[in-house]
């Protein structure tokens, strides 16, 4: 489970909203810059090269027209060489290299030039076509424009003379390279800008989301008055608004429930309180009734004794109800004192004349001391032992041990030898007025004893549980921290 939840939490971190936004923005920016750059580059490059090659071709054609009429057809090798040199010399920069062919004869403007740039394909294209043919050829780092054309007579018939020209395109290459560099340089700032924008946008989205998350957590922790500030009118503002409405509805219904519960508890407390004054008068005179019953006629004596006994039970019930009400109201206060726990347990048994009815396993005097509320500990032990004596069977054992650990605890066990507690009753034994049989027979207890026991243990920060022993009989186990803080 642990590993799984750790993995679950890492994935959203990697693909968090912020990361995803940044990635998306960067991708869009990169794509836009690249596409724009590529298109611009292609157009610009085409423009630059087209222009230079048009200029070269028209210049070549003009020179051919000017010089060709002076050439005898068929030419001599020497005539061809001179024609080639004249054409090449017509370009002032001297960058032109010219080759002229006629049948098997061929001459170049520069002596011994092998005209490596001229491809057979171009040569073939010039031979088969009357149009001017050109090709851009890259050899090593240099790009050259190779132009080829057939020279025709003014009558239109082919003369058989072909002119080839090679022009290095260093300037044009430099312009194109500069263009590439410019595009590259523009892309990087665009990417940075995109990431910054993405972060800004992520912040704008994430802030309300984060506020929503912490508000939700706050509600979950019980602070139902948590509200979000609603800014603007976008979807997130809408969500915040809905959140506020939900929180308000939740708060209202919880407040209503609490109010109802508080009224119910108040009512129970008030009833108990109101019962107490008449009970105080009745309790005061039960001893008088008991004393004089012997002197009355039997029926009256029975009635008087009944009233006396039930008054005592009623007083105990009201007392228990008041006690429970105080736990419910959170008004139960611990009066802590550091005492010898074994002594306390011994005194509890002695005060109720149970010493001979219960087997005890207690540590030696003053070996197990703890900060507890002595009165509440007495109530806990008396209720558990009384319960075991009433519902279990003897022998009943009371055992006290200390458990050491990070938080030292006292462990009090009450074991009986009765039939144990039916499985369907076990989860309910600490409930108020819970009766295990449908007949709801009234016993000596108020029906609140174990509930009060559980509450008393709880205010000490301890635990109580009921179970059946494998060898038979029930066991109630109380664990109390030995070092309680004042009035938790």
Partner 1 sequence: MPRVLLIEDDRAVREGVALALRRQGHEVGTAVTGEEGLRQARSFRPDVAVLDLMLPGMPGLDVCRALRDLDQTLPIIMATARGDDEDIVVGLEAGADDYVVKPVQARVLDARIRAVLRRAAQAPGDGGIPKLDTYGDLTVDRAGFSVALRGVPVALAASELRLLLTLSASPGQVFSRQQLLEAVWEHSYHGDARLVDACVKRLRAKMGEPRYIETVRGFGYRFAAR
Residues that bind partner 1 (CB under 8 A): 273, 276-288, 291, 312, 315, 318-319, 322-323, 326, 331, 333, 335, 337-340, 343-344, 347-348, 351, 369, 371, 374-375, 377-378
For 139, 389, 474, the CA distances from 395, given in Å and listed in that order, are 112, 9, 12
CB of 281 to partner 1, least distance (A): 4
Distance from C-alpha of 102 to C-alpha of 108, rounded to nearest angstrom:
12
d(CA 450, CA 421): 14
Task: List phi, psi (to 5°) of 429.
Answer: -60, -25
Minimum Å distance from CB 258 to partner 1? Answer: 22
Nearest approach in angstroms of CB 415 to partner 1 is 23
Return d(Cα 67, Cα 160) in angstroms, integer. Answer: 15
Closer CB to partner 1, residue 149 or residue 382?
382
Q: Smaller CB distance to partner 1: residue 189 or 408?
A: 408
Give which of 310, 312, 388 is closest to 349, Cα–Cα.
Answer: 388
Q: Tell me how far, at minimum, the Cβ of 309 lies from partner 1, in Å.
A: 12
Q: Supply angle C-alpha 19, 22, 25, rounded to 5.
A: 145
Q: Whole-angstrom Cα distance, residue 44 to residue 63?
A: 29
Provide the minimum distance between the beta carbon of 368 and partner 1 in the complex, in angstroms, as a whole number: 13
Q: In terms of CB distance, is 238 or 337 closer to partner 1? A: 337
Q: Which is nearer to partner 1, 338 or 359 (CB)?
A: 338
Query: How far apart are CB 287 and partner 1 at their closest, in Å?
Result: 5
Q: Kindly tell me which of 240 and 325 has the beta carbon lying closer to partner 1.
A: 325
Element holding 147 (H helix, E strand): strand 142-152
145 or 269: CB nearest partner 1:
269
Nearer to partner 1, 338 or 444 (CB): 338
Least distance (Å) between residue 273 CB and partner 1: 7
Task: Give CA 419 to chain center in angstroms.
Answer: 52
Min dist. Cβ of residue 329 to partner 1 (A): 9
The residue (of 61 and 276) whose beta carbon lies closer to partner 1 is 276
Quote the least distance from Cβ 372 to partner 1, whole Å.
11
Question: The tokens 């090798």 sit on which residue?
Answer: 77
* CB nearer to partner 1: pick between 183 and 318: 318
Q: Give 158 or 333: the residue with its C-beta nearer to partner 1.
A: 333
* Nearer CB in complex with partner 1: 178/284: 284
Q: Give least dist CB 286 to partner 1, A.
A: 6
Q: In the bound complex, what is the minimum distance in angstroms from residue 280's beta carbon to partner 1?
A: 4
Could you identify the residue written with the tokens 């194109």? 176
**Shortest gap between Cβ of 337 and partner 1 (angstroms)?**
5
Q: Looking at beta carbons only, is 369 or 465 nearer to partner 1?
A: 369
């Amino acid at each position: 489970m642990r590993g799984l939840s750790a993995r679950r939490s890492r994935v959203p971190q990697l693909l968090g909203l912020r990361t995803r936004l940044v990635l998306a923005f960067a991708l869009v920016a990169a794509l836009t810059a690249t596409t724009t750059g590529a298109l611009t580059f292609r157009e610009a490059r085409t423009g630059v090269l087209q222009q230079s090659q048009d200029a070269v071709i028209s210049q070549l054609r003009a020179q051919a027209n000017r010089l060709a009429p002076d050439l005898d057809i068929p030419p001599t090798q020497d005539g061809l060489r001179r024609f080639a040199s004249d054409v090449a010399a017509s370009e002032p920069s001297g960058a032109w290299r010219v080759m002229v062919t006629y049948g098997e004869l061929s001459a170049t403007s520069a002596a011994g030039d092998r005209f490596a740039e001229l491809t057979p394909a171009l040569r073939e294209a010039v031979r088969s076509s009357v149009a001017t043919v050109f090709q851009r050829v890259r050899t090593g780092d240099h790009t050259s424009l190779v132009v080829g054309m057939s020279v025709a007579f003014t009558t239109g018939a082919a003369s058989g003379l072909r002119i080839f020209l090679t022009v290095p395109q260093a300037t044009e290459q430099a312009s194109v390279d500069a263009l590439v560099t410019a595009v590259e340089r523009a892309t990087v700032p665009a990417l940075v800008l995109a990431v910054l924008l993405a972060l800004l946008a992520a912040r704008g989205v994430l802030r309300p989301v984060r506020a929503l998350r912490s508000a939700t957590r706050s509600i979950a922790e019980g602070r139902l008055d948590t509200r979000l500030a609603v800014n603007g009118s976008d979807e997130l503002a809408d969500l915040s608004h809905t959140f506020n409405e939900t929180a308000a509805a939740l708060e209202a219904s919880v407040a209503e429930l609490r109010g109802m519960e508080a009224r119910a508890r108040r009512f129970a407390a008030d009833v108990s309180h109101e019962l107490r004054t008449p009970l105080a008068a009745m309790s005061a005179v039960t001893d008088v009734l008991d004393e004089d019953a012997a002197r009355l006629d039997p029926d009256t004596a029975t009635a008087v004794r009944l009233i006396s006994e039930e008054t005592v039970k009623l007083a105990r019930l009201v007392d228990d109800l008041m006690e429970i009400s105080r736990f419910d109201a959170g008004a139960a206060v611990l009066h802590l004192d550091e005492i010898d726990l074994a002594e306390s347990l011994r005194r509890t048994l002695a005060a109720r004349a149970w010493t001979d009815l219960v087997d005890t396993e207690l540590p030696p005097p003053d070996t197990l001391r703890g900060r507890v509320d002595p009165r509440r500990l007495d109530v806990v032990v008396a209720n558990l032992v009384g319960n075991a004596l009433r519902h279990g069977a003897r022998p009943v054992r009371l055992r006290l041990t200390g458990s050491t650990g990070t938080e030292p605890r006292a462990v009090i066990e009450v074991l009986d030898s009765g039939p144990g507690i039916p499985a369907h009753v076990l989860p309910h034994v600490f409930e108020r007025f819970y009766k295990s049989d449908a007949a709801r027979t009234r016993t000596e207890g108020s029906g609140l004893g174990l509930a009060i026991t559980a509450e008393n243990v709880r205010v000490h920060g301890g635990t109580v549980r009921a179970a059946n022993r494998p060898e038979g009989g029930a066991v109630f186990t109380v664990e109390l921290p030995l070092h309680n803080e004042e009035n938790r």
